Structure 1
Amino acid sequence: MGRNITTVSQYIYRSSLYRAGSQQHTRSWLRCLSVQRPAAVKSLNAHPAHLHYIGKQPLVYRSVGQELELAAAEYGSTEAIVSCHEQKRHTFRSLLEDVDRVAAGLLKLGLKQGDHVGIWAPNNMHWYLTMLGAARAGLVSVGINPAFQGPEVDYCLKKVKVKAVIMPETFKTQNFYEIIKSICPELPHSVDGRINSANLPHLKHVIIDTPNRLKGALSFDDLLGLGNSDEREAIAQLQRYVMPDSGCNIQFTSGTTGKPKAALLSHYNFVNNGTHIGNRNQLDSNSRICVQVPLFHVYGVVITVMAAMTHGSTLVLPAAGFSPADSLKAIVDEKCTVIHGTPTMYVDLIKKQRELKLPLKTAKMAVTGGAPCSPQLFLDIKEVLGLDHVRTVYGLTETTAVIFQSRPGDNNERILNTVGHLQDHVEVKVVDAEGHIVQFGQPGELYVRGYATMLEYYDDPEKTKETMGNDKWLKTGDQFILEADGYGRIVGRLKEMIIRGGENIFPKEVEDFLNSHSKIIEAHVIGVPDERLGEECCAFVRLQDGVESITHEELKEFARGKIAHFKVPRFVIPIDQFPRTASGKIQKFKLAETYKQMQKEKA
C-alpha cells in the first residue's frame, strides 16, 4: 500500500509541474485518493531530491544561424541592437545582411567549418556581428576577456587553437595591437594578412576594428568586403549543413582559481536555453534590454543575446565596458524596459542612481545573475530603480547559462529566498558526499542533466570526466537545497565552505547577513587560517560613503538573535573595490592573498 501511495503522489507532483503548477489539477487528483490523501500529501516532501521539469514549449532542433533567419523574417524592421557609444544601429533585417558579410569574409580567408575564431573585445558592434557571423559560417566563436594581458591571451589562443582573432585597436588603457605583437612578433611582417607564427602556429589572421592601417592585420571593414554577392548568398544555403549538435561557442570558465577551462557549447544549447530564458522573462518585440554584462560571458551571449534574438527584443549597449552613469542614461534615452546585470553591477547602479535621480520611467524589470544576490540587494534594486519586477537566474558556464530561474508571478518570498524554479526540460538531483541522493529540503551537491549541458571541456577529456560522468550528470560544485515544488536555494560553493572548529560555515549566508547592515554596501567572506580553530571567518566590506570603519563588536551586536555567534566574522576589513572577473564574480583567492600580505606586514 505504501508503495502505491508513493507512486500516485509522484504522479500528482509531476503532473502539477507539467501543467505549470496548477493547484486545481493537483487537488482533483488528491480528491481521488479519498482516505489516503493525508499520507499522499506528506509523501511529497519525503521523496529523493530529483526532478525533471517538462516545459510547455518543446525543444527545437535549430542552429543559431537558422534562428537568426527566423528572427529577420518575423521581426525584420524591429531594432535588434543599438550601440550607444558607437552610434550604430541594426534592425534584424540589416543585421542578417552584415552577419552574412562577416561569415562570407571568414570563409574567404580560408577558415573551414569547425575552426575557431577568437573575439577579444569589449561590448562593441563588431563583437556581436562576429559571434553571429561565425555561427552562420559553421565556425566556433571563442570569447576572450578584453581585460586579459599578453600571457593570458597567449594561453587562450593556444588552448583552443584559434585560427583568426578579432579585436579593437584599443580599449581603455589597452593597446590590443601592441599586445598581440608581443606574443606574435611575426605579425607586422606577414604577407597578404596571413600569419606564420612560431609561438602561435594555429593563428593565421588578425582582424582589427580600426580605421588605421596596421601592419600585418586586416581591418574589420576589410573583412566585411572580402566576400562577393554570390559568396554572401551562399551562406544561406550553408545553414542546412551546420548541425545544431555541433560546437558553436567556447566559454572560458571564470578563472577565479587556476587556469580557466574551455567549455564547448552547441547551437542546440544556445537556441533552446535562450528561448526558455526569454519565455520566463516574458520578452517580446517591445522589450528593450539595457546590457551591462560583457557579451563574451555566457550571461551576455545566452541570457542576453540569444534570449533577445529568439523573441525579437532589442539590445542596447550603453558603453563598451560597464559604466553605471552610461547605463542610466541609456535606459532613459533608449526607453529600456529591462536591465541585465550582475549583483555587483546593481550595487554600483543603485549608488549612481541615488546620486543622479534620473527618471527611469520605462524600466520595468531587472534580471540578475552571474553570482548570488543578497535579499537586501533585491529590495534595493526594486525600490531605488523603481522597478515592478526583479528576476533571478542561476546556472553555470557548463550548463549554457540557466538551470533555475524566476517565474512570472513569483511572490517576494520566492524572489528573495530562492534562485527560482527549475528551467524547462532540465533534470536535477541533489546528492551527499558519498554520491547518494538526499531528500527534498536537505543540502547536498547539485547535479544537472539535459539539453543545456556542455559538449565537453575542449581538448581536456580528464577534466570533462571529472565534471560530467558517462551517465551525463554534470556536477555543479554548488551546495544546494532543492524543494519539492521545484524551487532551489544555493547554500554556497563546496570549495568555499569554512570549517571553524568543526562548524561548517557557508560564506553566502554570512554575506547576506552583512549586506543588510546599514553601514555596508557589499560584503564578501573568506576563510583564513587560525591556529586554534583551523579556520576563522574574515569579511571584506565596502562601506557606505562617509563611513570609515565597522568593528567586530558592532557586528556581534547586530547579529544577536539573527545568526549563530560562530558565523560572525572575526576579522572585518574595509576595501574600496573588490577584485572581480569580467563576469562580476569576486576573485576570493585575491582577497586571501590580501589578507596574507596584511598579516606579513603586521609581523
Structure 2
Amino acid sequence: MALIRFNRPSVFRSLSPCLYSSSSSDSSSSLRGPSYYHNVGKEPLVYRSIGQQLELTAQSYPDREGIVSIYENNRLTFGSILEQCNRLAASFKRLGLERGDRVGIWAPNYAFWYITMLASSRAGLISVGINPAFQTSEIEYCINKVNLNAIVAPDVFKTTHYYDILKTVCPEIGDCEPGKLASRTAPSLKSVIIHSKDKFPGAFQYEDIFNYATEDAITQIQNSQRDIQPDWPCNIQFTSGTTGQPKATVISHFSLLNNGIHAAQRNELNTKHHKICVQVPFFHTYGVTVGIVAGMIYGSTLVLPSAYFSPKASIAAINEERCTVTYGTPTMYVDLIKKVIDSNAILTTPEIAVTGGASCSPKLLENIKHYLKMKKVKNAFGQTEATSVLSQSLPDETEDHVLHTVGHVTDHVEVKVIDKDGNVVPFGEPGELCCRGYLNCLGYYGDEEKTKELISPDGWLRTGDQFILQEDGYGRIVGRLKEMVIRGGENIFPKEIEDFLNTHPDIVESHVIGVPDERMGEELCAFISLKDGKPHLTHDDLKEFGAGKIAHFKIPRHIRVVHDFPKTVSGKIQKFKLVQQYKDSQDEK
C-alpha cells in the first residue's frame, strides 16, 4: 500500500502568552499575535487499537446494549458484540484475508455495518466505508482505487440492487465459487459477501460466514490483539478531491481512537450512560468516529431509527428508547424540527444535540433547542483528512460560543491560519486553516503526490477551509478555498458532475456551482449549453438520465440554459459570475 507516513512532532511548540496581549482592544494587526493555537489537553493520548478498546468496553459493560437497530429488531450488548466480532474476524482470516487487506462496507445503517467494521479492526484488516447510493461506475472506481479484497453489502435497499451492480462490474461472479472471484475489471476483489436470506451465485451469505470460524481461529484472533499496532491503518474514508475523483483517506487506529475519545468527552458521554439517536450514515467520518468509536468509549448505546434518515423514525426512536443525545447534520435537524411541528410531537428525553457535517446557522441552533427541547446544542467541525473532529463545543461554554463559532480546538492539536503565501495571519483575520497532531491522516491511498500537497514535510495539514481563529481557541468558518459544495452534509465537487453532464447527448458544455438552499444548506445549479434545436432540459430529464449511473444527490436541482459562459482571456470559466447570474435571476422573481 503506497502511503506516506509522517512522524508526529515529539515536541509541540506554543507561543508564550506574554508576547502578545490577548485582551487588548487595539484593532491593529501589528499588536495581535499570530493565528496559532495549541490545545495541549489535560489527559495523555491513549496508545491502543480499536479492537483492544472494544475488548476493554466489553469487559466494563458486558450486559449493556451497544447497538439497537429498531427497524431490524436487533439489540446487541457489548459482550455479544465482542463475541460476534471475534467470530467474524476469525472467519475473515479463514477466507484468506490478511493483515492490511481492505474490506469494503457498501450499505446504509445496518447493525452488520457496525459489526463488520469492528471485526475488521480485530482482524488487523482495513474497513472501507462506501456510500450506499453509489452506482456502477462509482463502485467500480472505489474497488479499484483501494484494491478491495472483499466487499460486504445487502442484496437490495430501496431501488438499489447491490449484487446486480457488482455482477455488472464483475460478470465473472456468476460462474465462480464464493471467495474465488477472478475479475478482469476488478482484479483485487476475491470475496463478495451479501447480507440476505437468499443465496447468490459466487457470493457468500453473510450469516453463513460466521460458521467458518473455529474455536482455534477465534482464540488466535483474541491472542493477536497485542500484535496489532495502533499506528497501523484501520479505516479508509472516501472524500472527493478538486479534480472530482474521490480520494481514499487512510486513518490509523491511533488517530481514530483518540479522536473518538475527545469527541465523546466534548459530547459529555463520560457523564452517564447515554443513548444516542444516530441519524448520520456510518459510511461517513461523522458516523464512524463520533458515532461508532466515540459511542464505544464510555459504553454509550447507539440507536438506529432506520437504515436511512427518517424524521418520523427518529422521533419514534427518541421517545421509545428514551434517547438523551442526537447526532445529525443541519439538514437533518431542519427536517426533524418540521416533522415535530407538523405532527405535534413532544420529545421528553433529549438533553444534547450534536450537529456537524456542514455549517449550522445561529437560527437553526436556536430552533433545535426550542422545538426539540434540547438542554444543549453542540457544534462540531472537522474533515475526513483530520480523522473527523478538529474543533467542537466544550461542555460548559457560553451561548455566544455555541451560536457564533464552530467550537474550541480539540485536545492535543495545533492549528494555525495562513495567507496565500503560507504566512501566519494575525488573530481575527481570515486565511486557510491548517492543523497538526495525532489526528492527521496517514495519507491518500496510492496517491503520494496528493498526500504531499495535503500535508507538508513538517506535518501541517492544509484543510482548504477559510477560517478565523480567536485567541481563546475558538474559531469560525467564513468560506471555503476548495470548490466543494456541501449538500445536506454530502461533499460534492462540481468537476465530477460536469463530467457526467457532458456525457448527455443534448449537452454541449456544463458548469456547476453551489447555490444557497434553506433546507439542504447548498444545492447544485448546472449552467448548460444545449445542442442546436434543443430548447430545454429539466431536473426530471437529468434524474432519468442519471438513474443507475450516478448517485441521486449529485443530480443538479437547478438548471440554467445559457448560450455562452463568462470566461477569462485565457479561456477559464469565471464561476463567480455564474453565481451572480443565479442571484440576479432569483432577485427578479
Is the structural similarity TM-score above 0.5? Answer: yes
Q: Residue 235 of structure 2 corresponds to which residue in structure 1?
A: 249
Change (3 A) 1:96 1:262: same
Query: What residue ranges of structure 2 are gaps of 5+ in the alignment?
Result: 1-14, 495-510, 521-538, 544-550, 566-581, 583-589
Q: Residue 551 of structure 1 corresponds to which residue in structure 2?
A: none
Determine whether 1:290 maps to 2:277.
Answer: yes
Q: Residue 489 of structure 1 corresponds to which residue in structure 2?
A: 476
Q: Residue 131 of structure 1 corresponds to which residue in structure 2?
A: 117
Change (3 A) 1:322 1:280: same
1:410, distance to aligned residue in structure 2 (A): 1.4
The letter for the 2-side match of 1:9 is C
Q: Residue 155 of structure 1 corresponds to which residue in structure 2?
A: 141
Return the match for 1:318 from 305, 318, 322.
305
Mapping of 1:104-143 within 5 angstroms?
Answer: 104-143=90-129
More helix by share: 1
Determine whether 1:428 maps to 2:415.
Answer: yes
Mapping of 1:15-34 within 5 angstroms?
Answer: none
Return the match for 1:9 from 11, 18, 28.
18
4+ residue runs of structure 1 moved beyond 3 angstroms? 10-13, 37-45, 254-257, 537-544, 585-591, 595-600
Deviations 1:457-508 (A, max 9, x none): 00000111111111110000000000001000000111359xxxxxxxxx99
Contact residue 9 and residue 41 of structure 1 kept, 8 A: no
Contact residue 430 and residue 468 of structure 2 kept, 8 A: yes
The letter for the 2-side match of 1:345 is M
Change (3 A) 1:378 1:542: closer
Contact residue 45 and residue 484 of structure 1 kept, 8 A: no
Q: Residue 392 of structure 1 corresponds to which residue in structure 2?
A: 379
Contact residue 118 and residue 162 of structure 1 kept, 8 A: yes
Q: Residue 219 of structure 1 corresponds to which residue in structure 2?
A: 205
Deviations 1:116-166 (A, max 9, x none): 001011100111110000000000000011000011000000000000100
Contact residue 168 and residue 210 of structure 1 kept, 8 A: yes
1:588, distance to aligned residue in structure 2 (A): 8.8
Contact residue 230 and residue 254 of structure 2 kept, 8 A: yes
Mapping of 1:33-44 within 5 angstroms?
Answer: none
1:45, distance to aligned residue in structure 2 (A): 6.7
Contact residue 264 and residue 297 of structure 2 kept, 8 A: yes
Task: Name the CA distance, whole Å, in 2 between partners of 1:183 and 1:239.
Answer: 35
The letter for the 2-side match of 1:110 is G
Determine whether 1:418 maps to 2:405.
Answer: yes
1:595, distance to aligned residue in structure 2 (A): 3.3
Mapping of 1:451-600 within 5 angstroms?
Answer: 451-496=438-483, 539-542=515-518, 590=556, 594-596=559-561
The letter for the 2-side match of 1:396 is Q
Q: Residue 396 of structure 2 corresponds to which residue in structure 1?
A: 409
Determine whether 1:170 maps to 2:179.
Answer: no
Mapping of 1:43-62 within 5 angstroms?
Answer: 46-62=32-48
Determine whether 1:274 maps to 2:239.
Answer: no
Change (3 A) 1:122 1:588: closer
Structure 2 length normalisation: TM-score?
A: 0.80
Deviations 1:306-329 (A, max 9, x none): 111011100000101111111111
Q: What SS does the aligned partner of 2:44 have?
A: coil
The letter for the 2-side match of 1:113 is R
Deviations 1:418-452 (A, max 9, x none): 00000000100000111110011111000010000
1:173, distance to aligned residue in structure 2 (A): 0.6
Task: Name the CA distance, whole Å, in 2 between partners of 1:204 and 1:447.
Answer: 39
Task: Name the CA distance, whole Å, in 2 between partners of 1:397 and 1:165.
Answer: 21
Q: Residue 22 of structure 1 corresponds to which residue in structure 2?
A: none
Contact residue 117 and residue 142 of structure 1 kept, 8 A: yes
Deviations 1:92-116 (A, max 9, x none): 1111000111100100000100000
1:597, distance to aligned residue in structure 2 (A): 6.7
Q: Residue 237 of structure 1 corresponds to which residue in structure 2?
A: 223
Task: Name the CA distance, whole Å, in 1 between partners of 2:515 and 2:26.
Answer: 45
Contact residue 21 and residue 32 of structure 2 kept, 8 A: no
1:12, distance to aligned residue in structure 2 (A): 9.9
**Percent identity over paired residues:** 49
Change (3 A) 1:126 1:538: closer
Task: Name the CA distance, whole Å, in 2 between partners of 1:132 and 1:162.
Answer: 17
Q: What SS does the aligned partner of 2:379 have?
A: strand
Q: Residue 519 of structure 1 corresponds to which residue in structure 2?
A: none
Return the match for 1:88 from 74, 81, 92.
74
Q: What SS does the aligned partner of 2:422 have?
A: coil
Change (3 A) 1:538 1:98: closer
The letter for the 1-side match of 2:307 is A
Determine whether 1:180 maps to 2:180.
Answer: no
Task: Name the CA distance, whole Å, in 1 between partners of 2:556 and 2:104.
Answer: 27
Q: What SS does the aligned partner of 2:377 have?
A: strand
Contact residue 256 and residue 586 of structure 1 kept, 8 A: no
Q: Residue 317 of structure 2 corresponds to which residue in structure 1?
A: 330
Query: What residue ranges of structure 1 are gaps of 5+ in the alignment?
Result: 1-5, 14-36, 498-506, 512-523, 527-534, 545-574, 580-584
Task: Name the CA distance, whole Å, in 1 between partners of 2:448 and 2:252.
Answer: 17
The letter for the 2-side match of 1:208 is I
Q: What SS does the aligned partner of 1:253 have?
A: strand
1:269, distance to aligned residue in structure 2 (A): 0.9
The letter for the 1-side match of 2:390 is I
Task: Name the CA distance, whole Å, in 2 between partners of 1:316 and 1:543.
Answer: 25
The letter for the 2-side match of 1:106 is F
Contact residue 278 and residue 307 of structure 1 kept, 8 A: yes
Contact residue 245 and residue 268 of structure 1 kept, 8 A: yes
Moved more, 247-256 or 218-227: 247-256
Contact residue 44 and residue 484 of structure 1 kept, 8 A: no
Q: Residue 209 of structure 1 corresponds to which residue in structure 2?
A: 195
Change (3 A) 1:38 1:131: closer
Change (3 A) 1:283 1:11: farther
Deviations 1:487-542 (A, max 9, x none): 00000111359xxxxxxxxx99xx9xxxxxxxxxxxx9x9xxxxxxxx9x985545
Q: Residue 425 of structure 2 corresponds to which residue in structure 1?
A: 438
The letter for the 1-side match of 2:323 is C
Contact residue 441 and residue 481 of structure 1 kept, 8 A: yes
Contact residue 256 and residue 588 of structure 1 kept, 8 A: no
Deviations 1:154-186 (A, max 9, x none): 000000000010000000111111110000101
Q: What SS does the aligned partner of 1:275 have?
A: helix
Task: Name the CA distance, whole Å, in 2 between partners of 1:484 and 1:543.
Answer: 33
Q: Residue 261 of structure 1 corresponds to which residue in structure 2?
A: 247
The letter for the 2-side match of 1:86 is E
Q: What SS does the aligned partner of 2:283 have?
A: coil
Deviations 1:284-318 (A, max 9, x none): 45100000000011000001111110111000001
Change (3 A) 1:137 1:239: same
Q: What SS does the aligned partner of 2:149 have?
A: strand
Task: Name the CA distance, whole Å, in 2 between partners of 1:310 and 1:427.
Answer: 24
Task: Name the CA distance, whole Å, in 2 between partners of 1:210 and 1:96.
Answer: 22
Change (3 A) 1:599 1:79: farther
Q: What SS does the aligned partner of 1:594 have?
A: strand
Kindly tell me the number of residue pairs found equivalent between the two proteins: 505
Moved more, 354-363 or 439-448: 354-363
Deviations 1:195-230 (A, max 9, x none): 111111110000011111111110111111111112
